[in-house]
Structure 1
Amino acid sequence: MEDPTRSIDDLDAVENVVWVDLRTAEEWAQGHIPGAVNLPILDRDMRAEVGRIYHAEGQDRAKLRAVDLAAPGLPGLVRAVADLATRGPVALYCARGGMRSCVLGRLLAGLGIPASVLRGGYKAHRQAVLARLATGIPPLIVLHGYTGAGKTRLLRSVADRFPVLDLERLASHRGSTFGGLGLPEQPTQRQFESLLAARLRSLGPGPVLVEAESPSVGSITLPEKLCEAMRGGRRVFLDVPFELRVKNLVEDYGELALREPGAIEFSLSYLSSRIPGPEVESWRDLVRRGELQRFAEQLLRRHYDPLYERWRRRAGASFWQTIQAPDLATAEIELGRLVESATAGAVP
């Protein structure tokens, strides 16, 4: 019988591969190959029992018990994998490419259902992720600007024309005091790194557009090599009118503020160490009354703009280019011109 095991590099090169994660739901939740379908061959309690037998009675007894526990679910598991195989080439993996994936791989082969097995399992994927994050960061064009300038909007508007690394989308957080409001739960650190590595692999050699971020985006810590590349990248400052920044903030958070004002009010508590309490309370009142434009104006003038200016002075930030634009459409044109010149190696 042909050996079904293949390396992570081989399987990453397969088009439309369907990853099947055979680990427990808890293992999957901590981190998995992006897009993988979780079909546990053992649940958490079963796996714990097998582990206890392994330590008390040895490997052979543990394997036999694992087979006993997995056997009732195998018919359904085989049917599920056979169904997935209609979508594309199936690749199985478990924690280290051991019993869970190899046994099912051999069973599927005997039934004529083609499936590869990831050699080294999730551990091999994790090693590949860390290697890419350590060595595979392309040259970056880093978009800076005051809060509300529309940096994220601008990058997403040109993503169909130029390579864009959208860290806020990967991290499910906007990177500010209110950054998590209205967004799905953030991924684990491991899962974020898997998503980031997959995105970097798809982008090519660069230059790649990215929004300036602090080393932490919500609960996520950016890899050091990425932070270094951002610090060393070509900095572009997006300069838009204050009125447009206010409008952008109201559009970003206005619906949530009207629907769940308590969420905005709670987030304001994080500013109490920087802004006097009475002023924060006055902002809460503005949110309660639905005066979102005044709230956004005061938040920018009293909190975000001074914060950004302190960062610029501390970092000694200088910019490769500045985009002065009255609206998003103009900013798109100017950013496109800069990216094309950088890609061609020209000086604009």
Structure 2
Amino acid sequence: MEQHLEVDIETIITKGLNNYNIVDVRSESEFLHDHIPGAVNIPLLNDEERKIVGTLYKQKGPKTARLKGVDIISPKLPDFIKAVSSHNTKKKTVVYCWRGGLRSEASANFLKLAGVGKIFKLRGGYKQFRKHINEFFDDFPDSLKIITLYGPTGCAKTEILEKVSSEIPIINLERYACHKGSVFGEIGERYYPDVTQKNFETNIWHILYKNNFKGHFITEGESKRIGKVSIPERLYSRIKNGISVLMKAPLEFRIEYTIETYNPDNYIDNIKTSLKKIKRFLGGTKAAHLEQLLDKKDFETFTEILLKEYYDPLYNKSIPSCPDHEICYNSLDEAVEKVRVLYEKITSV
């Protein structure tokens, strides 16, 4: 069959991701691992089918594997075509697989035969998109300015970011990592198992892309590693050297907010498991006392001890000695308003 029209990832990104119907024909696990933002997953072969074909390829060669692929795909073609057609609006439809090879070529052929319309293949497939992301973080644009919020655990920095996000560009690293940035950070995070380094970076790139890769973004001062992912080196350096803002809230506020955030009554066993990871820092006696407090459901005392005797000394090492700005507050609303005012002040200069 004739070769299909192709489009490269740079063209799609330049013209706007939202201006295309992007169809990812890879398997569901490949899509979950990472994908082009806005793409819909309509697998030509699902995980199990891909495994069968891959095994045949290794054991009996490409011809046998391809014939098996045709056997598997043929009964599914009507549903596949119908699914793609349901997304086929006036926008151009682009299909892609891992390298822009057999799966996307076959998909485009089937769709053309069904009269779906003009179908484009993504040249180089997902691999070219990933190359674009790597190059972006290797050469992080100077047009992006960072305002970094610092402050001890319980200052509600992440929620403050979310509260201002409708008006101010933010980078919510903890949301993309599905992790609260502490030893207890994955507790209650439903999507933590699905996070990969690649989709973490793609989500960061996408929020910057939607803001044209320029302007002042507010983020939170984090360790380089958050849960199981790491902040890209150039971005991490920009965060560390950004405009620093120290957030200061009373201990009572921090205790209450931490309890609300972690909801310990539902995760006592998980908290005990995480507590073991820092037992050597706390000492056996203190760790045992904290477990007793959990059993008694004395979450206030438990949280106060952890904040004062573990987290605060640890966090004080990472807070700038002379921050550019300080914000003191007694409530979340007050903090949000003061961050808004400070942002306007910084960006109006």
Match of 1:216 among 213, 225, 238: 225
Native 8 Å contact 2:96 2:121 kept in 1: yes
User: 2:188 — aligned with what?
Assistant: 182
User: 1:199 — aligned with what?
Assistant: 207
| CA deviation after TM superposition for structure 1 residue 243, in Å | 1.2
CA distance in 1, matches of 2:90, 2:76: 22
CA distance in 1, matches of 2:21, 2:288: 52
Q: Alignment RMSD, CA only?
A: 2.4
Listed one character per residue, the Cα deviations across residues 263-301 of structure 1 (whole Å, up to 9, x for unaligned) are: 122211111120011211111111221211111111111
User: 1:309 — aligned with what?
Assistant: 316
Change (3 A) 1:49 1:233: same
Match of 2:37 among 34, 37, 46: 34
- Whichever residue aligns with residue 12 of structure 2, its letter is L
Native 8 Å contact 2:4 2:105 kept in 1: no
Change (3 A) 1:280 1:58: closer
CA distance in 2, matches of 1:322, 1:200: 26
CA distance in 2, matches of 1:333, 1:190: 34
Gaps of 5+ in 1: none
User: 1:82 — aligned with what?
Assistant: 85
| CA deviation after TM superposition for structure 1 residue 52, in Å | 6.0
Which deviates further from its counterpart, 260-269 or 18-27? 18-27
CA distance in 2, matches of 1:82, 1:260: 45
CA distance in 2, matches of 1:93, 1:111: 18
Native 8 Å contact 1:129 1:193 kept in 2: yes
CA distance in 1, matches of 2:292, 2:335: 35
CA distance in 1, matches of 2:163, 2:7: 39
Q: Percent identity of the aligned residues?
A: 31
Which deviates further from its counterpart, 121-130 or 84-93? 84-93
Match of 1:296 among 290, 303, 307: 303
Structure 1 SS opposite 2:327: strand
Match of 1:125 among 115, 124, 129: 129
Change (3 A) 1:279 1:78: same
Which deviates further from its counterpart, 38-47 or 48-57? 48-57
Listed one character per residue, the Cα deviations across residues 154-177 of structure 1 (whole Å, up to 9, x for unaligned) are: 111111111011111111101101
Structure 2 SS opposite 1:182: coil
User: 1:152 — aligned with what?
Assistant: 158
| CA deviation after TM superposition for structure 1 residue 239, in Å | 0.9
| CA deviation after TM superposition for structure 1 residue 326, in Å | 2.0
Which deviates further from its counterpart, 162-171 or 8-17? 8-17
Q: What is the TM-score normalised by the length of structure 2?
A: 0.89
Aligned pair count? Answer: 340
Listed one character per residue, the Cα deviations across residues 43-75 of structure 1 (whole Å, up to 9, x for unaligned) are: 445445555666677766654553344222212
Please state if 1:242 is matched with 2:251. yes
User: 1:109 — aligned with what?
Assistant: 112
CA distance in 1, matches of 2:176, 2:35: 14
Native 8 Å contact 1:22 1:39 kept in 2: yes
Change (3 A) 1:308 1:44: closer
User: 2:101 — aligned with what?
Assistant: 98
Native 8 Å contact 1:4 1:105 kept in 2: no
Match of 2:170 among 157, 164, 172: 164
- Whichever residue aligns with residue 293 of structure 1, its letter is E
User: 1:328 — aligned with what?
Assistant: 332
User: 1:262 — aligned with what?
Assistant: 269
